[in-house]
Structure 1
């Protein structure tokens, strides 16, 4: 156990930075321009007019590439935290790591929607139920309310992954592999055999995260090369089976994320660029504040006929500095509080 306290996966920082850039570029250079009706619904604004030919047209989904990377990285790192801290300390640290920063991003998103309502044709239509559902993250499907921030769903997946894996870890006597095997039949049943339920769109991503877990097992000497390869591929196959999407493009996009993850693990220098590491340091704060606030900035700039590429650059810069503020004023201080409280449970 003492050896595990010093294990580091530095390549994960570069991959996290790459994932964040993929997600934010997807939202600003693809979906904002290609799904104008949907973005108008999110922002309570008429769909953007003009700007024909704007956006990057790519043969793959940048957002899926980034999300795939994020989920694999979580799978890689969570076993380390669980085995080192135990379920109770892990839960405390995660609550303080996730919720305060997310609430700061949510407050910024609501403020951005209010400001956007002053644009032509806009309205502010956010209710207390909407905010309450979002503030809970994990329980939005049960509390109700409409979506405020369309990127929140990935945090819901992460939280339920933490909760269910922690519970299974405790039930199996702190045996992380056994915990995974305990969850797999439940995931298969919920996704392919049970009646439609809110968990289906949550746990279907767990096998992808379990694939990341197996790289952790390999890196820490808990699995050999062939065991790792076979289990990694099996988890990817299970991911395809439980998601059951009818989109080869979407699977290919997640496949690119998998390929980048493997490449980063095998050749860490590929993702050691200072820019990626810098982005990784504020990736969570940027993730929770970039979507709605960025769309509001893009809509506002469009009122003045700003070139689309300049709109994107300005939205990137503005949300980056907002993320820096959230990171310094909220994320880092509350992480320290969570660590101190978790340490008291030793």
Structure 2
């Protein structure tokens, strides 16, 4: 089996690293901020590029339908419009791009963490949140209670919790309790590896290795832990800021549009040049999305939401007086 195929078969594990980083970053960006600030930061970060990504991917799928030969339907208007809400999954509407499934996982994390933000983030409250979320995840894994699992997300909770604990380590310093939380989350994460493998073996087309999967998950924990203890503080290259800004728009467009490009280029180019050209095109489109969509629209949304939350506080104060 070619090396590229062997490595690519485990590319889906990047999601687990993403959830770890999300727990770390969301806790960091929320510290000392209000619920309004939290909502504003998430909306301005997620939605502008997402709206354009949905529309762009829908246009491509509409113009080039039936790639797989078993789904002749083009994206319907209702499906596209519901996807624009980012709340299509609980409505039973399929993703315009299959990678969007992670967004509903993220949104549920934001909502439950937002409850803690509403009370004000403190070291004790965040620790309590990690403990309660972990305990409910353990219960959810052992009982047939779909509503509980829909909220706590036992399959992925351990990555978010570990990321939060690692941020506390980064901000307040290391101690045995925080390392214990991270270690326990790693133990629970490796326990769920077989489920992840079973879910992704269909796309790989062959049996995946538990050892390789466990090693990649462990490496993900190790990388974020190293960042938490300051091992990467020396990395201050300017291009990293640009690379970080492109990760989200690239994520939004890479799969369906990327497949369409690869399908056509592979008829004329060998595998590695096909991948190189596709990557160059995807990065270019992601950069355009960042410069022409995210950068101009995010400030507009931020000002509008800031004004809205100011009105909430003002009207709330007036109603209290009356």
Normalising by structure 1, what TM-score? 0.73
Please state how far the C-alpha of 1:343 moved relative to its aligned partner. Answer: 4.5
* Map of 2:160 onto structure 1: 209
* Map of 2:128 onto structure 1: 178
Q: Distance between the aligned counterparts of 2:234 and 2:98, measured in 1?
A: 31
Once the two structures are superposed, the pairs formed by residues 38-57 of structure 1 within 5 Å of their partners are 55-57=4-6
Q: Distance between the aligned counterparts of 1:128 and 1:243, measured in 2?
A: 37
Q: Distance between the aligned counterparts of 1:108 and 1:57, measured in 2?
A: 30
| Correspondence 1:309 to 2:272 | yes
Q: Which structure exhibits the higher relative contact order, with contacts defined as CA atoms closer than 8 Å and separated by 6 or more residues?
A: 1
Q: Distance between the aligned counterparts of 1:182 and 1:330, measured in 2?
A: 39
In the superposition, relative to structure 1, how do residues 113 and 173 fare at CA in structure 2: closer, same or farther (>3 Å)? closer
Q: CA RMSD in A?
A: 3.1
Please state how far the C-alpha of 1:117 moved relative to its aligned partner. Answer: 2.8
For the Cα contact (< 8 Å) 1:165–1:180, is it kept in 2? no
1:293-329 residue CA offsets vs partner (Å, 9 max, x unmatched): 1111111223x33211111111111111111111112
Aligned length: 291
Please state how far the C-alpha of 1:70 moved relative to its aligned partner. Answer: 1.4
Once the two structures are superposed, the pairs formed by residues 150-299 of structure 1 within 5 Å of their partners are 150-170=98-118, 175-196=125-146, 199=150, 202-221=153-172, 224-241=174-191, 245=195, 247=197, 248=210, 249-265=212-228, 266-268=230-232, 276-299=240-263
Once the two structures are superposed, the pairs formed by residues 314-329 of structure 1 within 5 Å of their partners are 314-329=277-292
Tell me whether 236-245 or 88-97 shows the greater mean CA deviation: 236-245
Instruction: Determine helix, strand or coil for the equivalent of 2:7.
Output: coil
1:3-60 residue CA offsets vs partner (Å, 9 max, x unmatched): xxxxxxxxxxxxxxxxxxxxxxxxxxxxxxxxxxxxxxxxxxxxxxxxx959432397
Please state how far the C-alpha of 1:292 moved relative to its aligned partner. Answer: 0.9
1:129-158 residue CA offsets vs partner (Å, 9 max, x unmatched): 432442232x33331223321111122211
Please state how far the C-alpha of 1:280 moved relative to its aligned partner. Answer: 1.2
For the Cα contact (< 8 Å) 2:36–2:306, is it kept in 1? no
Q: Distance between the aligned counterparts of 1:182 and 1:118, measured in 2?
A: 46
Once the two structures are superposed, the pairs formed by residues 67-146 of structure 1 within 5 Å of their partners are 67-117=15-65, 123-137=72-86, 139-146=87-94
Gaps of 5+ in 2: 198-209, 311-322
Instruction: Determine helix, strand or coil for the equivalent of 2:133.
Output: helix
In the superposition, relative to structure 1, how do residues 72 and 100 fare at CA in structure 2: closer, same or farther (>3 Å)? same
Gaps of 5+ in 1: 1-51
In the superposition, relative to structure 1, how do residues 335 and 84 fare at CA in structure 2: closer, same or farther (>3 Å)? farther
1:210-250 residue CA offsets vs partner (Å, 9 max, x unmatched): 111112112221x5432221111122223345676274243
Instruction: Determine helix, strand or coil for the equivalent of 1:84.
Output: coil
1:63-89 residue CA offsets vs partner (Å, 9 max, x unmatched): 20x222211111112122222212232
Q: Distance between the aligned counterparts of 1:245 and 1:154, measured in 2?
A: 16
In the superposition, relative to structure 1, how do residues 67 and 245 fare at CA in structure 2: closer, same or farther (>3 Å)? same
For the Cα contact (< 8 Å) 2:23–2:163, is it kept in 1? yes
In the superposition, relative to structure 1, how do residues 274 and 310 fare at CA in structure 2: closer, same or farther (>3 Å)? farther
Q: Distance between the aligned counterparts of 1:339 and 1:115, measured in 2?
A: 34
For the Cα contact (< 8 Å) 1:282–1:323, is it kept in 2? yes
Bigger radius of gyration among the two: 2
* Map of 1:148 onto structure 2: 96
Instruction: Determine helix, strand or coil for the equivalent of 1:126.
Output: coil
For the Cα contact (< 8 Å) 2:186–2:218, is it kept in 1? no
Instruction: Determine helix, strand or coil for the equivalent of 1:117.
Output: coil
Instruction: Determine helix, strand or coil for the equivalent of 1:58.
Output: helix
